[in-house]
Amino acid sequence: MLSTFRRIGLFLILNIVIVLSVSLLLKVLNVQPYLTTYGLNITQLGIFCFVWGMSGALISLMLSRKTAKWILGVRLIEAHERDNDLNFVRRIVERQAAALGLPMPEVGIFETPVVNAFATGPSRSRSLVAVSRGLINNLSHEEIEAVIGHEMSHIANGDMVTMTLLQGVVNAFVMFLARVLAFALSAAGNRKEDSRSSSNGSFYLFTFVFEIIFMLLGSLIIAAYSRYREYRADAGGAELSSTSKMIKALTSLGRVHDSGLPKQAGQSLEAFMIRGNPSRLVQLFSTHPPIEKRIERLKSSYPG
């Protein structure tokens, strides 16, 4: 119960920080209301949507390491760690960071039986790689090495920043297009009525409906790119360990993986976690390809 209240509290704090930060930025930029007595001010609307769309995503990225630690209860694995398994994890991260020419990221463990791992952070120099207790207990050292290589490849490829920028752009377009279409429809529907309150009411209703539609369409774009970067991270993991180790790790993940994320994991971390096989109904919206397809891609790209 305490953990639930903690998660809710952190969620509210994060959203309050975003709202206050964006409101302050809009004031500094002197952004005026986009709905005026003369109609829709496209310039002000564009600035408004861009600031809101990008700011929320960027603030979430800047706080991603702290959010991961707070929500999942990640404990950092220090250099003097006595647990042999955790010490092994840290040594692998150190070795792979050196091979990739990356600054040493923070390394952590979160206590859940779910077999999973993730990488997050606002930049290559301020990143976090974390593994679950379930991953350590269920995978061999060779398989853990490959999984860590996958996550380290996400950091090396700058996937956290790229996904954030893509999400911000999609958010901005969703807000902008929804409001433009909503204004056009509400204005057309109320042209014969001299009622500003009726026009405003229909505008906000149409905006809500169009945002849902465009968010679903935008999520298809984000999910498609995310699946592409997962294939790329698998290739990186194979190069840092070996193709056979990466395939063995994916096979084990497919065998033992719980179909859901840890309950304490927020959606902001979902894109960086290794997932099991999604059902066919949700594959278009899945951030990760089915494991069998990932294995097939590795075998075709690195035969033998």
111 is annotated as an active-site residue: no
The pLDDT, as a whole number, for residue 189 is 63
Do 149 and 129 meet the contact criterion of CB atoms below 8 Å apart?
A: no
**pLDDT at position 278 over 60:** no
Report the C-alpha gap between 292 and 250 in whole angstroms: 8
pLDDT digits (tens, 9 = 90+) for 214-237: 999 999 999 999 999 999 999 999
- Of all residues in the chain, what percent carry a pLDDT higher than 70? 83
CA diameter of the chain: 77
- Rg of the chain, C-alpha, whole Å: 22
Instruction: For strands 106-110 and 117-123, give the pairing.
Output: unpaired
Q: Which residues contact 258 (CB under 8 A, 6 or more apart)?
A: 113, 114, 115, 276
| Beta bridge mates, 128 | 106, 120
pTM value is 0.83
Average pLDDT of the segment spanning 94-123? 94
| Residue of 106, 143, 145, 151 marked catalytic | 151
The region of weakest confidence among 12-26, 75-89, 230-244 is 12-26
Report the C-alpha gap between 53 and 61 in whole angstroms: 13
Q: Is 128 helix (H, G, I), strand (E, B) or coil?
A: strand
**pLDDT at position 8 over 70:** no
The pLDDT, as a whole number, for residue 191 is 58
Task: Give me the residue spans of the domains in the chain.
Answer: 1-304
Tell me which residue has tokens 């496209």.
42
Q: Which residues contact 157 (CB under 8 A, 6 or more apart)?
A: 229, 232, 233, 236
Nearest partner of 292 among 231, 238, 241, 237, judged by Cα: 231
